[in-house]
Structure 1
Amino acid sequence: MIAKYELSDNLSKPGPAHSGRETIFHNGSMLLAKVNLKDTGFYTVRTYNILGNAISTTYTYLNVYAYLWNCGLLDTSSQPTIEFVPPSVAEGGRVLLLVRNHPENSVCFAWFKGIVVFHNLVGIRRLPSTKPILFGPAYSGRETLNSDGSLQLHNVSQKDRGLYTLRILNSYGTSEDVQGQLQVDSSLSVFCNALTSSRLMIQPVLGYVAEGEDVFLQVHNLPEEARVFSWHKSNNGSPARKLVEYNRVKSSISWEPAERIRGKVYKTGSLLLQDVIESDAGMYTLEVLNKDSKIERANVQFYVKKSVTQPFVQITDTTVTGGTSVILTCVSPDTDVSIRWIFNNENLQLTEKMTLSPTKCALRIDPVGKEDFGLYQCEVLNHFSYSTSPPVRLG
């Protein structure tokens, strides 16, 4: 224990792990001064009630590194995605929520059933895999958290359908969220049997659509008593923004001013997106306000196909001699791409003297030895395509 703070006394009391650099505040925050590499690790804050019983536990990870840098020439980041295997699972079956393209420097995977709030936490898997798994309030005993970040659900039921969020923490101390929508089949097709079902649902858009095409998000079973419904959009766990609101009482449609109207909304709740572009991809949420002021939600997600352009590699010095350092930069105009490095036509195996920038767009070798001489390339990938740079020679 580092320290505890008693609200009744407004007093902080240091614990055995207190180093003299920690300050605890009345709102639960902790200031850690003059951090060093030994401070890297997981930190836990636990709250207690007046009887001394623990009522909440929250975890975070602090990573301290020797220096911070990035290439500065490429504004891009790794783009993980969730793939459902199979894409739609029958009740009683198993489904794997497979993580594609997670950062190589990942240190923690946290799964949530729904949005990122503590009561939705299924579990936390920390790396290396020898560390124990921390299960949350939403864990049912049917979930398996794998060391590659994937989540497997066993004996699936209709209660498992809906939104899942994965929060990935990397060794730089930053995190990114990725979301996916699980579809669960009943004994009969829920869409063929839409008239006898009362559950609000959206016809899923599977796979990808090309730029310039139209996407129809068809809603089934919009409640008859629905007074107002609205569509919202988010990307990779970012806060959802409202696109449009339909007031069935007034028969009025209100698009948000910041939105370029390239679509139509129907009284059935369905949404037509016309002439889609790359930025239209993401998670779409339908919110329905009933006459009793209860809100019902449904989600759907799709991606937009867009081929990446060929990147190129810049290098600080192509004639370096042993003992000096060098930085190679992968330059691409594309955003929302992943980057991998290739050395002599094979995937680059990082050594202790190699460091990647947080976005992987820059590779530093310090010091450079003869074993590092050869041809370097970078490859950029998105959900749909990839492209490899021409080789550059080091040495």
Structure 2
Amino acid sequence: MEVSSVLLCSGCSPWQGFLLTASLLTCWLLPTTAQVTLKSSPPQVVEGENVLLSADNLPENIIAFAWYKGETDMNRGIALYSLRYTVSLTGPVHSGRETLYSDGSLWIKNVTQEDTGFYTFRIINNHGKIQSNTTLFLHVKSSLFVCGRPSNIDEPTIESVPVSVSEWGSVLLRVHNLPENLRTLFWYKGVLVLKKLEIARYRTTKNTYELGPVHSGRETVYSNGSLLLQNVTWKDTGFYTLRTLSTDLKVEITHIYLQVNKPVTQPFLRVTVSTVTVQSSVVFTCLSDNTGVSIRWLFKNRNLQVTERMTLSPSNCQLRIHVVRREDAGQYRCEAFNPISSKTSRPVSLAVISE
């Protein structure tokens, strides 16, 4: 059963039909596809503000995607978008403040602290099966407002220095606004506060450090709460959690997502046919060995201006010219890039002839 069929089923709502399809699949929780990444813009949001949860590097062979509130509770759907029918359906927990766009991004307006939690992005492939589940943690901070902006955020915050880090580099997770009456701080790998996920802890009263079960020998915790990671690899990508315990036994928890990038290798550009006639169609495909990269297109060594005759795939790795004209003749390239590097493919020439 495909998603397209359940969207039109009788006797049930479109969302119920979608859930029925999911329940019939043999695999409930699938490993997250490495190519799909989620991010929050802005990275830190205060109640009353708006936030965009965006999905990057969507695969090609998909017909629908959906957002859920929570990690695994698939009955808490927010919205579903069908690429085949270009329609958006709201789910059981849609509050009226969420908008799902065709690129997979979820816009949440006027967030509250109740919006804090996990959000799961699910992809359905063209066989109507679940292809991937990707999860993001959103933390909505509380604050007093002056003229609509926060006047004071006294909770601990974390920033990554540098913002983007490559493999074998070093990164400092710098902590701000530690409690003045701090007793102990803990660092964990992941979003869960579990002893088995503890990297290290620091006790201010004794000025002592204790290493946790997942300490690899590359992490250093400083007395100001910051965590230094050296010689990072792509396996270090993920959430890191800081937990602080004050002398009055107040506990505060803060998360940060760290993305470790590999240097980009040169992509390969493929075209269905190098010589085409006017009014015909042609497809270019940019092939990259890297995950977590973005794609842009160049025509005659300039950024390609996409017209109404052209279509880009959701992840930009495929360019289709539906109605070729003479002015489309020339050299095409694609560029793969991430926050630390970029590489451009060798040129592919397209010749356009009369019928």
TM-score (norm 1): 0.54
Give 1:91's match in structure 2, choosing from 47, 55, 74.
Answer: 47
Check conservation: 1:121, 1:136, Cα contact below 8 A: yes
SS across alignment from 2:114: helix
What do you get for the CA RMSD once the two structures are aligned?
5.5
SS at match of 2:259: strand
Q: Specify the code of the residue in structure 2 equivalent to 1:41.
A: S
Query: For 2:338 and 2:69, how far apart are their aligned partners in 1?
Result: 26
Q: Partner of 1:253 in structure 2?
A: 211
- Percent identical residues: 35
Structure 1 CA distance, aligned partners of 2:291 and 2:83? 28
Deviations along 1:31-67, one digit per CA (max 9) or x if unpaired, are x8xxxxxx563559xxxxxxxxx9x95543999xxxx
1:317-372 CA deviation, whole Å, 9 max, x = no partner?
Answer: 97999xxxx998756554432445666663789999x999x99879999xxxx999
Structure 2 CA distance, aligned partners of 1:334 and 1:177? 18
Equivalent position of 1:386 in the other structure: 342
Contact residue 111 and residue 124 of structure 1 kept, 8 A: yes
1:150 correspondence with 2:105: yes
AA at the equivalent of 1:377: R
CA distance change for structure 1 residues 159 and 224 in 2, over 3 Å: closer, same or farther? Answer: farther
Residue 264 in structure 1 maps to residue 220 in structure 2: yes
| Contact 1:77-1:336 at 8 Å conserved across structures | yes
Indicate which of 114, 127, 135 corresponds to 2:91. 135
Query: Could you tell which deviates more after superposition, 213-222 or 343-352?
Result: 343-352
- Give matches, 1:319-334, under 5 Å: 330=286, 332=288, 334=290
Distance (whole Å) between structure 1 residues aligned to residue 39 and residue 62 of structure 2: 15
Query: What letter is aligned with 1:193?
Result: D
CA-to-aligned-CA distance 1:273-301 (integer Å, 9 cap, x gap): 23444543332245799xxxxx9964211
Gapped regions of structure 2 (runs ≥ 5): 8-15, 26-32, 246-250
Separation (CA, whole Å) in 2 of partners of 1:119 and 1:268: 42
Cα shift at 1:170: 4.0
Contact 1:287 1:297 in 2 (8 A): yes
Structure index of larger Rg: 1
- Secondary structure (helix, strand or coil) at the match of 1:115 reads coil
Relative to structure 1, the CA distance from residue 108 to residue 273 in structure 2 (aligned partners, 3 Å threshold; closer, same or farther) is same
Q: State the Cα deviation string for residues 98-147 of structure 1 (Å, max 9, x = none).
A: 4445446543232233423225533323335654513134x333323333
Task: Quote how far apart the aligned CAs of 1:78 are.
Answer: 4.3
Amino acid paired to 1:107: I
Candidates 96, 99, 121, aligned match of 1:166: 121
Q: Is 1:184 matched up with 2:141?
A: yes
Residue in 1 that maps onto 2:4: 41
Structure 1: 5+ residue stretches without partners: 1-31, 33-38, 45-53, 64-75, 195-200, 235-240, 290-294
Contact 1:231–1:242 under 8 Å retained in 2: yes
Deviation at 1:186, TM superposition (A): 0.9
Contact 1:79 1:337 in 2 (8 A): no
**Count of paired positions:** 306
Q: Tell me the equivalent position of 1:19.
A: none
- How far apart in 2 are the matches of 1:392 and 1:154? 44
Answer whether contact 1:42 1:61 (CA < 8 A) is retained. Answer: no
C-alpha spacing 1:280/1:77, structure 2 compared with 1 (3 Å): closer
Cα deviations across residues 355-395 of structure 1 (Å, max 9, x unaligned)?
Answer: 99x99879999xxxx99985443321224543321203366
Q: Distance in 2 between matches of 1:156 and 1:362?
A: 35
Distance 2:337 2:151 in 1: 35
Take 2:239 and 2:186, find their aligned partners in 1: how far apart are those partners? 17
Match of 1:218 among 167, 170, 175: 175
One-letter amino acid of the structure 1 residue matched with residue 120 of structure 2: T
Residue in 1 that maps onto 2:13: none
* Alignment of 1:231 onto 2:192: no
Paired amino acid for 1:308: V
Contact 2:172 2:226 in 1 (8 A): no
- Please state whether the residue corresponding to 2:22 is helix, strand or coil: strand
Q: What amino acid sits opposite 1:146 in the alignment?
A: Y
